[in-house]
Amino acid sequence: MNITLNGVSRQISSPPLTPLLRVLRNELNVVSAKAGCEAGGCGACTVLVDGRPQRSCLTAVGSLNGAAVTTLEGLGTSENLSAVQQAFVHHYAAQCGFCTPGMVVAATAYLDAGGSDDKEAIQEALGGHVCRCTGYLKIVNAIAAAATQSEFDLTITAEEPNVVVKTGGR
Amino acid sequence: MAVHRGRGVAAIEYPTGMNQNGDPSQAWIKVKPDGRVDVFSGTADIGNGAKTIQSQIVAETIGVPYDWVTFDNSNTDSSPVCTGTFASRATFVAGKAVLKAAEEVRHKLLEIAGLEMEASADDLEVVDGEVMVKGSPTEKLSVADVAGAATYGHGQLITGTGAQLKPYAEILDPETGVVSSPPHSAISYAACAAEVEVDDETGNVRVLKLIQAYDVGKAINPALVEGQIQGGAIMGLGLAVLENAYPYYPSVEHRGYGFGSYYSPGMEDLPELETIIIENPSADGPYGAKGIGEMANNAQPAAIAAAVHDAAGVWITELPITPELVLKALEAKAEPRREGKLVAFDDEISVNTVGAGISWMP
Ligand code: FES
Ligand code: FES
């Protein structure tokens, strides 16, 4: 069977019930999608299947013959980042980065479907994506920014509202 | 039945590093012939930004641009010992080791530059990748040229090592606990204020706002430390109202069986966050830094419990503060007193008195 992975047709030799996540990581060596829980609960493995976000850990590869699969690698390159990727950099929306590929893919799908910069709508759309490091605020801010802006200054970090730095002491 | 709002505050102090036990970190740095800097340090980066922070310290201390620095912690054979990323020590202890190594590198660099520029090393400084005579910035030589001269002209390697260790302390008097050397000087302080909503019908607690003030010593990378404080806030929220390894007590067989039965906070639990970063420098951390990694999620549960008390008048003394615990506490509190024929709710403890300041009687 075949899938189109990030625009390139790839032949799959894994058995049809193999999760797409395992096929990507073990057979095709595309490792941006992360194995967080492998039970559908964390979102770290999210990829786009024909443009829609899907948990690759729960997707049997046999169901995808002829489908177009997009991973983080298909959204942009380090020289040419997508708007969402730039927004994540500009807003420093990662600490360890484990959840980030899933977040970026899901945010891309949300915005491609016409999603707005409304914070509650973003929280609802990405509610199933767990991040244990950032506290989500910068991720929400990054996605909201990418809803209205397509270029970001990558040489500086966005000023966060509600952050005060006080220098004092001895 | 109503939704009650309340506020609570909690404070915390937290030591950095392993006091009295010895937790060494070591680093070595070499400068390539083109002036680019390689740092070898064993600190694992688990999302705390160890690579970024240590690279910043090295760049700042030597005097070269940040992007000239390559940080290698990939190999336990080539990197010196670092006890690890724990005890909030990566910036404070390992950062100090790279700082010392970088100072040695700068010293060596200036020595070679002195030979090249026919000046005393003491009269030279490194600014943004260039060695210049202090007070006379037109007389300068790039670090790349100095490193090239060291390699091909003087047959030398510009390198430096650094190590940081709080030595093992003997207990001198078991009675009083007096030890032979003082603890690390870096104690971080923080406070968290929480605002919550408690539904006295469902027992549900919703955290509306967390305001946090953290004394970080020095925010070497403000964006990273902000992320750490915000991440800690949400983790603390999880500890306070959601996360439980044994959700289905009473017996161990009913423990959680997987990811789906462990409730970690999601994006929808995100309250309003306000962060105050306070720079109250430590005496011996790199550039005055302290470590706040572990304390970042400690004050919130206490602040949230206090806010729940403020809202509903009950102290929940177990975490997480589940709807069940809240309802049980409210029920126990609302237990009426019987005085002969009269059934009375106790003024002081009745949930019905909250806010209204009056007791309810039949
Ligand atoms: S790994 Fe697929 S949802 Fe967690
Ligand atoms: S950045 Fe670590 S899990 Fe999200």
Main-chain dihedrals φ then ψ at residue B355, nearest 5 degrees: 85, -45
Nearest to A168 among B228, B232, B278 (CB): B278
d(CA B25, CA B41): 8
The answer to whether the beta carbons of residues A46 and A125 sit under 8 Å apart is no
Please tell me which residue of chain A has the smallest CA distance to B272. Answer: A137
> Considering only CB atoms, which residues of chain A are within 8 Å of chain B?
36-37, 39, 41-42, 92, 94-98, 122-124, 126-140, 157, 160, 162-170
Which one is predicted more confidently, B345 or B216?
Answer: B216
Average pLDDT, chain B: 89
The answer to whether the beta carbons of residues B237 and B267 sit under 8 Å apart is no
Mutate to test the pocket of ligand 1, among A38, A47, A132 (most ligand atoms within 8 A of CB): A38
Q: Report, in angstroms and rounded to the nearest whole number, the Rg of chain A calculated over CA atoms.
A: 17
pLDDT band at A170 (very low <50, low <70, confident <90, very high): very low
Residue B238 Cα, gap to closest chain A Cα (Å): 10
Whole-number pLDDT of residue B359 = 40
Please tell me which residue of chain B has the smallest CA distance to A93. Answer: B227
Q: Best of A89, A95, A98 to disrupt the B interface by mutation (most B CBs within 10 Å)? A: A95
**Domains of chain A as residue ranges with CATH:** 2-74 (3.10.20.30), 83-147 (1.10.150.120)
CB contact B357 to A (< 8 Å): no
The ligand placed nearest to the CA atom of residue A58 is 1
The ligand placed nearest to the CA atom of residue A93 is 2
Contact list in B for residue A37 (CB cut-off 8 A) is: 258-259
d(CA B353, CA B361): 11
Nearest CA to ligand 1 atom 1: A38
- Across-strand partners of B10? B192
> Is the per-residue pLDDT at B351 higher than 70?
no
Residue that has been written with the tokens 């700068």 in this structure: B106
Which amino acid is present at B264? S
> Is the per-residue pLDDT at B135 higher than 70?
yes
Pairing mode, if any, of strands B178-179 and B272-279? Answer: unpaired
> Is the per-residue pLDDT at B112 higher than 90?
yes
Cβ density class B167-205: b for 16+ within 10 Å, e for less: eebeeeeeeeeeeeeeebebebbbbbbbbbbbbbeebbb
Whole-number pLDDT of residue B250 = 66
**Domains of chain B as residue ranges with CATH:** 3-15+184-332 (3.30.365.10), 20-164 (3.30.365.10)
A38 lines ligand 1 (CB under 6 A): yes
pLDDT, tens digit, for every residue of A33-84? 999 999 999 999 999 999 999 999 999 999 999 999 999 999 999 899 999 9
User: Does the N-terminal peptide bond of residue B320 adopt cis geometry, omega within 30 degrees of 0?
Assistant: yes
Ligand 2 centroid from CA B14, angstroms: 24
pTM exceeding the 0.80 threshold for the entire prediction: yes
d(CA B112, CA B117): 9
Whole-number pLDDT of residue A149 = 95
Whole-number pLDDT of residue B353 = 37
> Is the per-residue pLDDT at B322 higher than 90?
yes
A43 lines ligand 1 (CB under 6 A): yes
Q: Largest Cα–Cα distance of chain B, in whole Å?
A: 104
Ligand 2 nearest atom to the CA of residue A96, by list position: 2
List the one residue out of B208, B225, B227 whose CA is nearest residue B216: B225
Ligand 2 nearest atom to the CA of residue A103, by list position: 4
Whole-number pLDDT of residue B335 = 60
CA dihedral B299, B301, B306, B310 (to 10 degrees): 130
d(CA A26, CA A19): 11
Whole-number pLDDT of residue B255 = 72
List the one residue out of B278, B296, B163, B168 whose CA is nearest residue B227: B296
Whole-number pLDDT of residue B358 = 39
Note the Cα A159 to chain centre separation in Å.
Answer: 23
pLDDT band at B336 (very low <50, low <70, confident <90, very high): low
pLDDT (average), residues B136-149: 95
Whole-number pLDDT of residue B354 = 39
pLDDT, tens digit, for every residue of A1-32? 999 999 999 999 999 999 999 999 999 999 99
Nearest CA to ligand 1 atom 3: A40
Cβ density class B95-121: b for 16+ within 10 Å, e for less: bbbbbbbbebbbebbbbbbbbbbebeb
Which amino acid is present at B52? T
Contact list in B for residue A94 (CB cut-off 8 A) is: 227
d(CA B252, CA B255): 5
Query: In this predicted structure, which of B53-62, B166-175, B288-297 has the lowest mean pLDDT?
Result: B166-175
Query: In this predicted structure, which of A131-140, B166-175, B254-263 has the lowest mean pLDDT?
Result: B254-263
Average pLDDT, chain A: 95
Query: In this predicted structure, which of B79-83, B176-180, B221-225, B268-272 has the lowest mean pLDDT?
Result: B176-180
> Is the per-residue pLDDT at B348 higher than 70?
no
Whole-number pLDDT of residue B20 = 65
Task: With CB atoms and an 8 Å threshold, state whether B276 touches A127.
Answer: no
Ligand 1 centroid from CA B321, angstroms: 28
The ligand placed nearest to the CA atom of residue A59 is 1
> Is the per-residue pLDDT at B178 higher than 50?
yes
Ligand 1 centroid from CA B52, angstroms: 28
Query: In this predicted structure, which of B149-153, B154-158, B327-331, B358-362 has the lowest mean pLDDT?
Result: B358-362
Ligand 2 nearest atom to the CA of residue B47, by list position: 2
The upper half-sphere exposure of residue B126, i.e. CA atoms within 13 Å in the direction of its Cβ, equals 29
Question: Angle formed by the axes of helices A137-148 and A83-90, to 10°?
Answer: 140
pLDDT, tens digit, for every residue of B237-294? 999 999 987 766 666 677 777 777 788 999 999 999 999 999 999 888 999 999 999 9
d(CA A117, CA A161): 16
